[in-house]
A and B are shown apart, each in its own frame.
Chain A
Amino acid sequence: MRINGKVALFIERFREQGGVVELVQSWDEALGLIEREARAAAGSIAIATCEIELLESIRDRLKGVSRLVGPRASPAEIASCSLGVSFPVAGIAETGSILEICYDDSDRLVSTLPPTHIAYLESSKVLEGLLQAAPLIRQASRQNAFSATLISGPSRTADIELRQVIGVHGPHTVKVLLKV
């Protein structure tokens, strides 16, 4: 498997920032990993808005494994989930970030409230530099309301005696399933 410069850089930097990257060859393989996580987490799974085929395949795969919540579930429901699955629109190599664009805030909560966040990203969507994200954000701004979030690892704080703690209000684990 050949991983080119910007994808390799994205992986390296996202990991350095405390994120996890697992490489998959297909959506099907990603589904297998999601199922494994779902079994381990033993709770409901929140899912963000995505293409209908992806949604249906995940629904099928998790039948009998975990309850699937969403897309567009209520905050309380999402808060009760142990895992959130989202679909970022890009990865940024320069900053080791993923870019999520949402048009409904319940989609944002999927990557914020559950303790584990899984993001499925195709490596063709990895961009070299931060500024290359700008056209995607500008395109989103054609809608009346949107949010674009660059996520560069799990939530963290060093507010008490500078001790680095991972997982504050956002997830402790952010895992990118990167299709290469």
Chain B
Amino acid sequence: MTIYSALEERVRKRLSQGPVRGLYSAMLRGLRGREKAIAEMGDYKAFRSEARMIKERSIERLFELADIFARNAEMRGVRVYFARDGEEAVKIIVGIARGARSRLVAKSKSLTSEEILLNEGLEAQGLNVVETDLGERIIQLARERPSHLVFPAIHKTIEDVSMLFSGEAKREVSSDIREIMNYIRQKLREVFLTADIGLNGANVAIAEMGAVVLETNEGNGRLTASLPQAQVVLVGIEKIVETVEEALILARAHAVAATGQRLTTYVSIMSGRSPMAGDRSREMHIVLLDNGRSRMLSDDVFREALYCIRCGACMNVCAPYSVTGGHIFGHIYPGPIGIPWTANIHGLDEASFAHLCISCGLCKEVCPISINIPLMISRVKNLLATRHGHPKADRSMMRYETLGRLASQLAPVSNWVLKARFSRYLLEKLVGLDRTVPLPEFRRETFAKRFHRVRVEIPTPRTRVALFLDFFPNYCRPEIAESLVAALQLAGVRVELPPQLTSGYPLIAYGDWEGAKKYAARNVELLSGYVEQGYSVVSIEPTATYTLKNIYPHLLKGDKRAELLAKNTVEALQVLRELVSEGLLAVKARYEKRYGIHVPCHQRPLSGVENVLALIRAAGLEAEVIEDGMCCGMAGTFGMKHGPIGRGLSKAMGSRLFELFTSSGVNAIVTESSVCAIHLAEGTRMKVLHPLDILYFEKPN
């Protein structure tokens, strides 16, 4: 069994059981809380960029800060250790426990300790390690792994928990939440008061005072850190910042993004080992862990993973994670950021769950540090492909451009063929294209072929634009591009159609970096001449716009022309909206309906819904945005692939959004993305239109 088919098997099983219970609502709760907290903050954009800058400069000075931190902590009588890897860290902590003649360790939640399997290492030496965070304790008793960073036991029902605690107590602990809380409070109180070692991680460490920062809501962190004779803190070296101000900003960012709290209930900053009732014989040990982090530091792409503050927001927005859960979409580190961490810390093959990522890009958008997680995931897929090759369906989907060109040249015959059951069966077998997925019709006369008929010479243009088409507007929906060109020309805009390839985004999505770079380089070459002459590049499909603006500059690092192209690429609806607001165009409605707007993922970091909403409203139509904040599940060609990692997951991801639309009372759906449209139309059985299907433009009176 290959690593891919093993993963497929796990996803198939999961899909047959339905989504992980409780997970989706936990994610939504996290997302809604975050939005509310951000709304209260005023200039969140500035706050976020400050948080990012803190991590950038701290990671830049990582070794220097680690030295300052160690010096300042040692000055206060703390023993500081550097552990090269997990094994060494476990050995050090076992040594400390032996020295303290410890039997009982009270531990508060630490993902870093899970990274190095610390509990197992300590237990192997006969130590009794008790997790004191409620969720972690549940997981520990169940002998499982956490399925979510913030809510590790979210997949457990209250009945499961009552059974686990009854087993531990050897008496019945009922499923009444109060009784469970009383039980855990009493049970762990004994542990806190009798443990000889308190073990915790650190959310942040502060170099200027050799301090560690620990955030907990339950208060267990305060007790593990204060009661036992010896305190042991395991800190990943990437957690160190220089100043207390920086630490406070990260603590705020963490709480806001994780749960929508202003701060975690208890944020403790501890420096040196405080006496207890005057007893100064107590100890503090800090273990600074490398375990692959310095290697990540020297990698251009993976370096950003070190900026993570472990808030879990990225998993709250990840649609495939919402269906599969952290036990499949994760190794020890779950969720989106778990992919680059796993690949670097636990080995590339353990990160095969990267194949579940549908490249929606949303994790980057919610990350309080704006970490480019999708790019790192694409890199992991790329490295996996170097080792194992690309999965069959991915290989075919990456040849979409050739296939599209062929289908268009052979249209309408190709359209009949693509509808025939037997050929669909063959396509499924041969190229992995699911036989049941609805396919668009291909046009023999592509937009590129029609353009000369549509184009009007504008002798003294107001402005000049070069059109970027991408796949669908060229091969399947040329009338969209036609409407756009007509409107632009009406407003006195000169339109050109430069020779071009499609954006190549599927290659990024499936991890073919070499191929994607070729697309990027070629398009930059073809379009830059126009940009240099003062043209804006106007792009119709959100994914294409996103690729030109947000991906090419990363793929072609240092290429000034790619940066210039990114800066001068504009969304089609943005241009139309500006022309309307400048009074150069009037927007009118073709059909009077109540529309529900679907926001394609790649549009979120661009204009979001602003342009489409403004235009629809200017045309006098009613519209509302319908969303759960996650991807609809189509994700380009992902949902067209046969099998659980494709159509199976795609349908499961989409089902919740479909339900939102069908129960919303709107009459039709509007979206700018052609692939989302296919998925939504199938899933909701509603009419799905492009904004340019329902709007038209006139010269104002």
Contact = CB atoms under 8 A, between A and B. Distances in A.
A151 B218 contact: no
B220 A168 contact: yes
A149 B268 contact: yes
A105 interface: yes
B193 A159 contact: no
A148 interface: yes
A159 B152 contact: yes
A79 B277 contact: no
Interface in B227-285: 227, 243-245, 248-249, 251-252, 261-278
Interface in B209-234: 209, 211, 217-220, 222-223, 225-227
Contacts of A52: none
B138 interface: yes
A170 B219 contact: yes
Contacts of B273: 145
B275 A159 contact: no
Contacts of B220: 168-169
A84 interface: no
Given A76-B193, A170-B222, A106 B211 contact: no
B158 to A, nearest CB: 5
A29 interface: no
B442 interface: no
Nearest to B182: A167
Given A75-B227, A95-B263, A112 B222 contact: yes
B269 A147 contact: yes
Interface in B199-215: 208-209, 211
Contacts of B26: 162
Nearest to A148: B269
A27 interface: no
A134 interface: yes
Interface residues of A, number: 55
Interface string A71-109: 011111001000000000000001111000011111011
B154 interface: yes
A130 B252 contact: yes
Contacts of B263: 95, 97, 130, 150, 152
16 contacts: A104-B275, A134-B245, A145-B274, A146-B270, A147-B270, A148-B269, A149-B267, A150-B266, A152-B263, A152-B264, A160-B158, A162-B151, A169-B185, A169-B192, A169-B218, A171-B219
A165 to B, nearest CB: 6
Contacts of B248: 130-131, 133-134
B134 A72 contact: no
B277 A106 contact: yes
Interface of B: 22, 25-26, 29, 76-77, 132-135, 138, 151-154, 156-158, 161, 177, 180-181, 184-185, 188-189, 192-193, 208-209, 211, 217-220, 222-223, 225-227, 243-245, 248-249, 251-252, 261-278
Contacts of A153: 265
Among B153, B157, B209, B263, chain A packs the most CB atoms within 10 A around the CB of B263
A130 B429 CA distance: 60
B262 A17 contact: yes
Given A97-B263, A138-B209, A152-B261, A157 B222 contact: no
Contact of B274 (A147, A159, A168): A147
A145 B177 contact: no
Contacts of B25: 162
Interface in A21-51: none
A69 to B, nearest CB: 11
A170 B226 contact: no
A79 B272 contact: no
Main secondary structure of the interface of A (DSSP, over half): loop
B582 to A, nearest CB: 41
Given A149-B268, A150-B263, A162 B274 contact: no
Contacts of B156: 160
A137 interface: yes
Nearest to A162: B26
B226 A108 contact: yes
Interface of A: 13, 17, 72-76, 79, 94-97, 102-106, 108-109, 112-113, 130-131, 133-134, 137-138, 141, 143-163, 165, 167-171
A104 B274 CA distance: 5
Given A130-B252, A168-B218, A169-B192, A105 B276 contact: yes
B134 A157 contact: yes
Nearest to B29: A162
A95 B600 CA distance: 34
B74 to A, nearest CB: 12
Given A144-B77, A155-B266, A162 B22 contact: yes
A75 B276 CA distance: 8
A102 B275 CA distance: 10
Given A145-B271, A168-B181, 10 more contacts: A72-B278, A134-B244, A137-B269, A141-B211, A143-B272, A146-B270, A147-B274, A155-B265, A168-B134, A169-B192
A161 B265 CA distance: 20
A152 B138 CA distance: 25
A107 to B, nearest CB: 9
B151, B152, B211, B265 — which one has the most chain A CB atoms within 10 A of its CB? B265
A96 B244 CA distance: 19
Most buried by A among B22, B223, B225, B264: B223
A152 B324 CA distance: 34
Contacts of B267: 97, 149-150, 152
A113 B276 CA distance: 14
Contacts of A151: 265-266
A49 to B, nearest CB: 11
B276 A106 contact: yes
Max chain B CB contacts within 10 Å: which of A148, A153, A165?
A148
B155 to A, nearest CB: 10
A158 B266 CA distance: 15
Contacts of B133: 159
Contacts of A168: 134, 181, 184-185, 217-220
B262 A152 contact: yes
B672 to A, nearest CB: 34
A133 B213 CA distance: 14
Nearest to B139: A159
A72 B275 CA distance: 10
A136 to B, nearest CB: 10
A115 B370 CA distance: 40
B272 A144 contact: yes
Contacts of A169: 132, 185, 188-189, 192, 218-220, 222-223
A175 B184 CA distance: 24
Contact of A104 (B177, B252, B261, B276): B276
Given A103-B274, A162-B154, A157 B266 contact: no
Given A94-B262, A150-B266, A159 B153 contact: yes
A141 B133 CA distance: 28
